[in-house]
Structure 1
Amino acid sequence: MRSFIPSPRAAAVLLAGSALLLSPLSGQASARPVVDQAPASDCFVPPGNAAAKGGHGPDTRDISAAEQKAIEARTAQILKAKAARGTGVPKGALAAATVPVYVNVMRDAAGNGDVTDTQISQQIAVLNKTFGGQESSQAANTGFTFTLAGTFRYNNNQWHQDKQSSSYRKQTRKGGANALNIWLVDFAYLGIATFPWDYARQPGIDGIRVQYTSLPGGSETNYNLGETATHEAGHWFGLYHTFQGGCTATNDEVADTPAQSSPTNGCPEGRDSCSLPGLDPIHNYMDYSYDSCYNQFTPNQSTRMSDMWTAYRA
């Protein structure tokens, strides 16, 4: 487990381009709950702390079968209403959009946690490759592309360690429901994300938090190709883990991702953890495989992203 060493600071330093701005902090200092009671869809734990990502304690915000059913019903109602108003996506079509990405680099006072502009550009390229279906002939092109809208660098020991998380996200988040905010931090996980249906309730914390060493060229062994951000962005678009619900027909609400009982570790070809049809989808971005094992979203995952985007982010 990475250590969390309190080191409060009186000011956050924001470097935006060549500008240097000072902004006062709230002064709040408290122990951080797992995710500050904020709705989070994913919590990856790097190897060494557990056998697989997410293996150390609860790795998702608890969504019961009843809540999952209610989310599906609510989404269907919203989509039906939008279709009636002519503001939805035509039947058989998929939503397509360019997503503005705001990267918030949370460094400590000594500059630890920094990443280069090249790494950030490479991370955006990974998102475009993975959501564009370019890593496998079986992969779906989701129709979503990403463009860097801004990079912001903060110096704050607490924020660097993901402490005061709800507070710092509310202070630094940019854009609307359609804007993906990425906070690069140093914490005990690989990533944490929010779901789109939670945006209306807590818009200030919407986005994904990513271990900064998982960016392309980072030091996180087996997880440094930038695909942690792809996984987290998948949640942000409304996808569950492929092992959501375990060996059930409902599973992750996606018909073309075979059910699996538990997260994958590594890249175990032929793994089949359920008696239901199909091998475990270990190459799917929404499993917990190594970055090098990942290569696809499925067509039905693409459809689900389109529906969730239309319902909650468009």
Structure 2
Amino acid sequence: MSVLAVPTLVAPTALAAARAAVVCAEGTAARHGEFAHDEATVSPAVKARVARDLADQTRTMRARSARTGEDTLPAEIVVPVRIHIIRGTHRKDRLVTRNEARRMFYTLRAGFNGAQDPTMTPTGIRFELRPISISRNDRWFHAPPGSRADREMHRKLHQGERRSLNIYLNDVNFDGGSLLGIARFPWLAGAYPLLDGITINVSSLPGGRARGYNLGDTVIHEAGHWFGLFHTFEGGCEGSGDYANDTPAEAEPSYECDLTRDTCPTEVPEGWVPGDPEPESVLDPVQNFMDYSYDRCMNHFTPDQRTRAVTLFMRYRYGR
């Protein structure tokens, strides 16, 4: 396996949209067994602006609900999905087929429907597959995020409105390593519409070389970012974290699948003495799609994540 890059939220270019992309990467074996730590965070200014937009959209939806008697959140939103397969020119480059792209789409749809966890409430997000495109271009196949080749690829291939999810399949590289995936947040779609979408490394598809991350769940994780979800470990143990109240705080990403992890232990309350009931421990959300656990471990979104994703979609993408 090649040396894989440390992930960051800041791509190494002058392009603002690329700088704000979420880059989810494999890491070196020396650092975290298989996968590296995401050392970047979303800026406080961006978090504050998005929180204001979220609150404003929530008020709008509640007012509409009061007028119509309908639920605050729509029962279902429809998202067209446009998959773009990029093929390299070398024999060693993996040639993804349309059938493999369709299977990735089915994985995406199943993840948001709750098929991997029977206890998960479906998100109400319905994906509809549009025709799949295939391009043969070595520069695009190996394009680093935010590079000239990456921007060219997006501008040439992007289709549909802001509510359309464009997925690019290539061997995306970063600082000489390979990335699992890249996503652009919804609040960037207005300013950079042709650069919107997510990029998925072909190595993360079933049978790929990204050991532990080759069952196809990367597309679910990156789509979560496209809807506006943060990592579960965003902000660590302090503050508002990922802004989903039902995802426990997490100090750092989960790698592999340790179901006993508790990186933000509950503090003993002031005045506690031996014999008093001990604070209840809340384990890390290692099975959440927005963590970095192995594909076989991740299986659900929470109700608050669903609310956030749908509300931000209505704010930044619906009808646009």
Match of 1:233 in 2: 223
Match of 2:78 in 1: 98
Matched, 1:254 2:244: yes
| CA pair 264-217 structure 1, distance change in 2 beyond 3 A | same
- Deviation, structure 1 residue 191: 0.5
Match of 1:307 in 2: 311
| CA pair 128-57 structure 1, distance change in 2 beyond 3 A | closer
Matched, 1:129 2:110: yes
Match of 1:219 in 2: 209
| CA pair 34-212 structure 1, distance change in 2 beyond 3 A | farther
- Whichever residue aligns with residue 155 of structure 1, its letter is R
Secondary structure of 2:236's partner? coil
Matched, 1:180 2:165: yes
Match of 1:153 in 2: 134
Q: Write the distance in 1 (CA, Å) between the matches of 2:216 and 2:68.
A: 32
Q: Write the distance in 1 (CA, Å) between the matches of 2:227 and 2:311.
A: 9
Question: Per-residue displacement from partner, 1:112-154 (whole Å, max 9, x unpaired)?
Answer: 2421222111111111111001111332200112222021111
Match of 1:209 in 2: 199
| CA pair 109-174 structure 1, distance change in 2 beyond 3 A | same
Q: Return the match for 1:72 from 47, 51, 73.
A: 51
Q: Return the match for 2:233 from 243, 246, 251.
A: 243
| CA pair 282-47 structure 1, distance change in 2 beyond 3 A | farther
Q: Write the distance in 1 (CA, Å) between the matches of 2:68 and 2:253.
A: 34
- Deviation, structure 1 residue 190: 0.2
Q: Write the distance in 2 (CA, Å) between the matches of 1:106 and 1:192.
A: 15
| CA pair 213-88 structure 1, distance change in 2 beyond 3 A | farther
- Residues 35 and 165, structure 1, Cα contact 8 Å, conserved in 2: no
- Residues 84 and 135, structure 2, Cα contact 8 Å, conserved in 1: yes
| CA pair 311-47 structure 1, distance change in 2 beyond 3 A | same
Q: Write the distance in 1 (CA, Å) between the matches of 2:229 and 2:290.
A: 8
Secondary structure of 1:153's partner? strand
State the identity %. Answer: 35
- Whichever residue aligns with residue 288 of structure 1, its letter is Y
- Whichever residue aligns with residue 66 of structure 1, its letter is A
Secondary structure of 1:125's partner? helix
| CA pair 42-278 structure 1, distance change in 2 beyond 3 A | farther
Q: Return the match for 1:281 from 262, 285, 289.
A: 285
Q: Return the match for 1:108 from 88, 107, 117.
A: 88
- Residues 231 and 290, structure 2, Cα contact 8 Å, conserved in 1: yes
Match of 2:275 in 1: none
Question: Per-residue displacement from partner, 1:134-177 (whole Å, max 9, x unpaired)?
Answer: 11133220011222202111111111002421222122111111
Structure 2 regions of 5+ residues with no counterpart? 5-10, 267-280
Match of 2:150 in 1: 165
- Deviation, structure 1 residue 219: 3.0
| CA pair 49-90 structure 1, distance change in 2 beyond 3 A | farther
Q: Write the distance in 1 (CA, Å) between the matches of 2:236 and 2:35.
A: 15
- Residues 96 and 143, structure 1, Cα contact 8 Å, conserved in 2: yes
Question: Per-residue displacement from partner, 1:17-51 (whole Å, max 9, x unpaired)?
Answer: xxxxxxxxxxxxxxx93695512123222564741
Secondary structure of 1:191's partner? strand
Structure 1 regions of 5+ residues with no counterpart? 4-31
TM-score after normalising by structure 2? 0.80
Matched residues, number: 285
- Whichever residue aligns with residue 258 of structure 1, its letter is P
Secondary structure of 1:274's partner? coil
Secondary structure of 2:117's partner? coil
Question: Per-residue displacement from partner, 1:63-107 (whole Å, max 9, x unpaired)?
Answer: 223321221102322443466578999444345223211111111
Q: Write the distance in 1 (CA, Å) between the matches of 2:24 and 2:185.
A: 13
Secondary structure of 1:309's partner? helix
Secondary structure of 2:241's partner? coil
